[in-house]
Amino acid sequence: MTLIKTEALVLKTIPFQETSSIVRLFTKEQGKISVIAKGARRMKSALRGYLEPLNYIEAIYYFKITRDIQTLSKVDLLQSFFSNTRDIEYTIYGTAVLEVIDKVVRDHQYDDKIFNLAVQILKNMDLHTDQCIILFADFLLAMADILGYKLDTSVCSQCKNRLTTAIYNPGSGRLVCNDCGRYTSSAHKLSEYEMQFLNDLSRHNLDTEINISAEPSAADRIIQMLIRYLSHHLDYPLNLKSLSLLSEISQ
């Protein structure tokens, strides 16, 4: 049995028995794992309050290769994202980041690029809550790049002419110009304004302050397109319950 110390994001916490919890963590050292936090729900537990989703922690746990669920020993809170906002809309975009990670990253899949991306995006969202929708689109585009599915926003994937407007082709998972995509069924058309926003995102360095603006409706359309894009290349639907909840709240 090995004692491991690592940074982690809390993805999900499930009550277990009377006082314990099963916690899904996305760790910097071992990727996505599940741990049991014994007695974490007791009023006087040293773990109480630290194992909520959107918490960025330093975790110490006992690792045994023959176990599917490891045993949590100690937690230090590094940052609690969105703790200073009461607007559930902002929190939902943060939750959507966790949901994408939980769906895309396999258990024990080590990927420090995805971990660093998630932490950076959540920090930026926490600092600039009014830009959460833009930052979530930024996150999806960056995730596609890390996973090896970089989206070419500059030219038509068929004729190679420069794109000012575009159509997302769900069959090929590519952007095409209006001429090449005029017979595409279930097409997702992107206006010049939306393409400019997408190009701005593709050029943005995540380590620098974001200075990109977009109408919420345009940002939402880009997000929906990027979810369809990722779903195509991952070969399974990336249905996000958090965004469905956001749609219900907005109605």
**pLDDT of res. 107:** 87
State how far the Cα of 135 lies from the Cα of 121, in Å rounded to an integer: 7
Is the same domain home to 67 and 121? no
Domain hosting residue 201, numbered range: 88-250
Rg (C-alpha) for the chain, rounded Å, is: 20
**pLDDT of res. 249:** 74
Place of tokens 């100690």: 74
Of 80, 98, 118, the residue that ends a domain is 80
State how far the Cα of 222 lies from the Cα of 189, in Å rounded to an integer: 10
State how far the Cα of 130 lies from the Cα of 244, in Å rounded to an integer: 20
**pLDDT of res. 167:** 94
Of 80, 103, 122, the residue that ends a domain is 80
Of 59, 80, 101, the residue that ends a domain is 80
**pLDDT of res. 52:** 94
**pLDDT of res. 247:** 76
**pLDDT of res. 251:** 59
pTM over 0.85: yes
State the DSSP code for 165. S
Q: Say if residue 211 is exposed, middle or buried (CB neighbours under 10 Å; 0-12, 13-18, 19+).
A: exposed
**pLDDT of res. 210:** 76
Residues of the chain with pLDDT under 70: 208, 250-251
**pLDDT of res. 123:** 95
**pLDDT of res. 183:** 82
Is the same domain home to 114 and 74? no
